[in-house]
Structure 1
Amino acid sequence: MLQSRFTRSRLLNQVLATTTLLAFIYFSLNNLLPAIRYNVVPHRHPILLDNAQSKARPGNNTSSPTVHLVIASTKADDTSWTSRLTIPNLTILRYISDDPSAPFHPPKPKGHEALIYFTYLHDFYDSLPDLTLFIHASETPWHVEGTLLRNTTFALSQLNLHKVLQQRHYFNLRVTWRAGCPAWIDTTKTHSDFDEAEEPFMAEAWRANFGVDEPVPDTLGGPCCSQFAVTREAIRRRPREQYRFSRDWIVDSTWSDAILGRVCEHMWPRLFTDEASDCGYAERGSLCQMYGVCFESEGELEGYKELWEERERLKERMSFLRAVWDAKKAAGAKGRFGEVNDEIERQLSVAWRRGHA
């Protein structure tokens, strides 16, 4: 009887193992393998990127301005993409916040990009180039717009440096008004009543950096996200001591890194232009004037942005886990993604050619 029970148990285990194996094979063929296949999403637009970069703004080394590219980074960041930049007279200064042995680093790993920027502004005050570009470390950050392919290499390659020098003097690399203009931050908000996390801190930060006699604007506006170009003259509108003071203020502050970074984000326009708001230029005009990406109408621009948002939604539906759950839906998303991607490339190519005609 014991042998009969052992035989039955072994047979049951074999049946369970076989059933499990068959189920895994079925799952792999119908879900896992298709998910792996559908998860391949093209993030670059190779034709547009390569053509646009090869035909970037004309100019030679003798007529082009001298440029510093100040990168706010950590040791873990990959900034190798900067080697593809073709900006003449460019010097790359990578600041590494968490490596005190790096050639360029802030006093402490604090305040996000703000402490790095103030450190540069103080240390290079007497040896500034014609133009300085302040950026984050990622090549594809969310705060570079879809109209610039969410690609910093593309954006910087198209940026009209001469117009920054001759007309803008301070230029936020992000131009969309969404979540920023015409008024975004209410400086009268308190810790018991606020919409944005930095609002209750803004008035105190303003007075600390600009002096108690400096009136605090009731509202502040401007595109986010602390990536901008600024000329030597605009930087030197303020004395070097201003940047030393703001650097030390961040170092000594007890506020969180996130709050310090966000309050400084709203003070850059005041530092370099004396204006509290950076909402004087509409998105479509800035895209055309500063990047040579010229949409014919507001409707055309909005249509493009809707396509880009659909592209981002489709990317989420094509994620590996979602494809495993529903491979057929992922397959449909992949097909639509290709159509949307092609249309984005077509529309942006037309806008780019219009700006470079």
Structure 2
Amino acid sequence: MVFLRDRGRLCAPHRWILILLAILLIPALYLLFQSRWAVQHPVSAAENSRERAGSDATNRTENGLPLSHYNRNNLTVNLVVASLQQDDISWTQNIQIPNLNIIRYVSDSMEAEYHPPVPRKGREALIYHTYMYDFYDKLPDITIFIHSDESPWHVEGTLNSSMTFALSHLDLEQVLQRRYFNLRVSWDGACPNWINTTKSAAEGNGQKKEEPYMREAFSENFHTNDVPVILAGPCCSQFAVTRDAVRRHPRSQYRITMDWLVQTGWTDYITGRVWEHMWPWLFKGEAVDCAVEWKAYCRMYHICFDADSRSRITSLEEEKKELEKSYGLLDELIDLFGSSKITKRVEEINAIMTAELENALERGKSEAVRMELLSDLYTS
């Protein structure tokens, strides 16, 4: 009989029914046991976040995207230039940054496409805050804020005393990682503890005319009485900042400062100077921003001096300063007909330092060398 002959086997229709039931039951059982496991062994949000971050946390930007997502060619960058009508900014066309969008604010022309709310007030600080207020909802990845001069006194010799050179060598991926970077690196007249906000006018320092004003300026701009005692960071209000660093404050913060700069009875000199010391707080919430100089040159500009070259350059800079101090009327007279000993030696020093800079640029081309020289940017 058929049943005896097929004992232990199923006919085709029954076999297919069981297969379909198994297909439906297996996922249901998996979900059941998975949910029971989750209840018995919950994973906290913090643990989950750490697991997702993993070991590549340091390779991500402030918006969570990996640095590999960006490269110099696909970043959006605005260059905001604080200028007067008479200024020639044609040199900015020579800056080698792909996709660079130049936005010129003109302080003394209310007819210019971009201008502050009132003319010639608040120096570059009013222009910068006006830009952040105007462009708050359409910011690029990075905004670079500069003055109109291609070779201002505060751009170091290490950067060829040239804004074109400095900006063309600036590592934009590092800017993304740091969020805010002051383009000047030197600690001279800036670090590590330049401004003491507890000092009164009676205790004023001729070099720091803005110091007695700092506590009031900080308090009024940030609406707080909790003012840091020390403010420090390289001068002189030229920096690169990311979109998220600007947006760490609401748009209204920039209107507060715009109004303050317009309404204050302080001189433009003082309002401009007090803001030189508050950019790190605005963008990072940090009162002191003093990266080790040689490390900042290497990481941010790929100008990498090794230990021997740093020692040599320090010695040569000191010698050059002493020579320039001793340069007198007799040397001037000799230079009219030839070159004095001092002039010849200064020329020799300049040539040596130029060669050291070329070597540092070559050294900085290698990421492996940069990583070997660098660790924490703030410890020597």
Bucket of the pairwise TM-score, normalised by the shorter protein: 0.7 to 0.9
Change in CA separation of 1:305 and 1:148 when aligned onto 2, cut-off 3 Å? farther
Question: Which residue in the other structure is 1:343 paired with?
Answer: 352
Aligned to 2:7: none
Residues 317 and 323, structure 1, Cα contact 8 Å, conserved in 2: no
Letter in 1 for 2:132: L
Displacement of 1:319 in angstroms is 12
What residue in structure 2 maps to residue 268 of structure 1?
A: 279
Deviations 1:34-86 (A, max 9, x none): xxxxxxxxxxxxxxxxxxxxxxxxx9988431000011111222212111112
Aligned to 1:90: 100
Summarize deviations over 1:218-262 as a string: whole Å, max 9, x none. Answer: 111111111110000000000000001101110011000010001
1:155-210 CA distance string (max 9 Å, x none): 10110001111x20001111122221111001011111112111111111111011
Could you give the per-residue CA deviations for residues 84-111 of structure 1, whole angstroms, max 9, x where no partner exists?
1120010011111112211111122111
| Partner of residue 199, structure 1 | 211
1:251 to 262, 268, 280: 262
Q: SS where residue 203 of structure 2 aligns?
A: coil
Q: Which amino acid aligns with 1:187?
A: T
The structure-2 alpha-carbon separation of the partners of 1:320 and 1:232, relative to structure 1 and needing over 3 Å to count, comes to farther
CA pair 209-62 structure 1, distance change in 2 beyond 3 A: closer
Q: Which residue number corresponds to residue 193 of structure 2?
A: 183
- Of 268, 288, 295 in structure 2, the residue corresponding to residue 285 of structure 1 is 295
Q: Match for residue 242 of structure 1? A: 253
Which of 78, 83, 88 is 1:78 aligned to? 88
1:112: how far off? 1.2
How far did 1:326 drift? 5.4
Q: In 2 relative to 1, CA 204–85 (structure 1 residues): closer, same or farther, beyond 3 Å?
A: same
CA contact (8 A) 2:331 2:342 kept: no
The answer to whether the Cα contact below 8 Å between 2:73 and 2:99 also exists between their aligned partners in 1 is no
Aligned to 2:236: 225
Do the aligned residues in 2 keep the contact of 1:147 with 1:305 (CA within 8 Å)? no
Counterpart mapping for 1:166-181 below 5 A: 167-181=177-191
Q: Which residue of 2 aligns with 1:142?
A: 153
8 A Cα contact 2:228 2:287, kept in partner: yes
CA–CA distance in 2 between the matches of 1:278 and 1:64? 28
Verify: 1:301 aligned to 2:310, yes or no.
yes
Task: Give the paired residue count.
Answer: 295
2:376 aligns with: none
Which deviates further from its counterpart, 170-179 or 320-329?
320-329
Amino acid at match of 2:86: A
Q: More relative contact order in 1 or in 2 (CA 8 Å, sep 6+)?
A: 1
Aligned partners of 1:223 and 1:332: how far apart in 2?
A: 34
Query: Which residue of 2 is the match for residue 120 of structure 1?
Result: 131
Shift of 1:140: 0.9
- Judge conservation of contact 1:78–1:137 (CA < 8 Å) in 2: yes
Tell me how far 1:324 sits from its aligned partner: 5.8
* Greater mean alpha carbon deviation, residues 89-98 or residues 332-341: 332-341
Q: Kindly report which structure 2 residues correspond to 1:29-44, keeping only aligned pairs within 5 A, or say none.
A: none
What is the one-letter code of the residue matched to 1:207? S
Cα distance in 1 between the residues matched to 2:124 and 2:329: 33
Quote the RMSD (CA, aligned, Å): 2.7
Partner of 1:133: 144
Structure 1 residues 317 and 194, CA, compared in 2 at 3 Å: closer, same or farther? closer
Deviation, 1:317, is: 9.6
| Residues 1:101 and 2:130 are matched in the alignment | no
Aligned to 1:48: none
Check conservation: 1:269, 1:276, Cα contact below 8 A. yes
Greater mean alpha carbon deviation, residues 123-132 or residues 318-327? 318-327
Q: Distance in 2 between matches of 1:335 and 1:84?
A: 33
Unaligned runs of 5+ in 1: 1-58
* SS of alignment partner, residue 275 of structure 2: helix
TM-score by length of 1: 0.76
1:140 is aligned with what amino acid? S
CA distance in 1, matches of 2:315, 2:76: 37
1:51 equivalent in structure 2: none
Asked if 1:159 corresponds to 2:166, the answer is no
* Greater C-alpha Rg: 2
